Each structure stands twice: as C-alpha cells, then as structure tokens.
Amino acid sequence: MKNIVLIGFMGTGKTSVGRLLAARLGCAFHDLDKKIEEAHGMTIPEMFVRHGEPYFRAREKEAVAAAAARGNLVVATGGGVVKDAENMRALRKNGIIVALTADIDTILARTAARGQRPVLDRADEGDRRAAVAALMEERRLLYAGADVTVDTTGRAPLEIAEHIMQTIRIWRK
C-alpha cells in the first residue's frame, strides 16, 4: 500500500496526527526528524548549531529517500522537506501527500517552546509572528501541491486522523 505522507508547517500536528493515523491504519509511523536524530546521535537543534542547516538538509534528503523506498508507512516530515523538489518527487512516487495547515496564532502557540525549532528560534520574540508569516508565505505554494489539505486549527488530533482516513480511503487501494 502507498505511504501517507504528512507535510506542513511546523506546529500543524504532523507528529501527533501521524502517530494516531498509523495506529488506526495498522501501519508503521515514521517521523523523519526522529529518524535523523537517531541515525546521527544528536538533536536537530544540535545539528543546526554544530554543522548548519545545509548539513541537516542533506541528512533530511537521505531520510526521505529511505522512507520513500518503503511502503505502508505514515510519514511525518519536517516542515522544510517541501523546499526540495527532489524530496517531494521521491515521497509522491509511493505516497499520498497530505498537507496539514493551521493559522498563525495556532502555530505560534504550538511552537512557543524555545530550543526545539531552530528556524524560528533565530527570531526575537517580537519578530516570531513575522518569521512564521514569512515562512508560511514562502512555502504556501509548495504545500498547495498536496493531494489533500486539512486545516488543523482548533481540531483535536484524533478528529484530524479520522478525517484523513476517510478522505484518503480511495487512494489506499
């Protein structure tokens, strides 16, 4: 069966929804960021500090290729996976792409903890909203290429997982 690939901006619920979706579908959950951290023995924020974003993006590309080569997975991607067209081609080849979205206030609330989001942690507190808005706009068209889009604003992860299951049923055959 095809993979279900969750894309979307950080804080849209890819990991929490992905875990529930995989459990409901009886398939494996594959969190790309966690796989990268496990394979390289450091957190993503540590990778950014020690080696920079290009190093992380190269590791991300390797993890995408490994996940795309498998089947019957629910894959939660990092928010920036969509910036690389090769990543998206690989994921689409054996996957249904589901974009999770949320409004800016929801994303700010869900990503408020410092030290976990290197791309946002560079912004001062007052600039955080502007940083989120700019990144969301930069990636908007990339997320728009998904097979399915689901707004997670004000919705529980289980409700979102159920909605995705109903929506993608026809593609899973």
The average pLDDT across 17-22 equals 97
State residue 1's pLDDT score: 81
Q: Is 152 annotated among the ligand-binding residues?
A: no
State residue 120's pLDDT score: 53
Q: Is 139 annotated among the ligand-binding residues?
A: yes
Q: Is 172 annotated among the ligand-binding residues?
A: no
pLDDT digits (tens, 9 = 90+) for 39-58: 999 999 899 999 999 999 99
Alpha-carbon distance values, 81 to 17, 18, 46, 69 (Å): 18, 16, 18, 16
Q: How many CB atoms lie within 10 A of CB 154?
A: 9
- Closest by CA to 33, choosing from 63, 10, 72, is 63
pTM (two decimals): 0.89
d(CA 43, CA 56): 10
All domains in the chain, ordered by first residue: 3-164 (3.40.50.300)
Q: Is 15 annotated among the ligand-binding residues?
A: yes
- Closest by CA to 33, choosing from 97, 148, 117, 156, is 117
pLDDT digits (tens, 9 = 90+) for 155-173: 999 999 999 999 988 655 5
Q: Is 80 annotated among the ligand-binding residues?
A: no
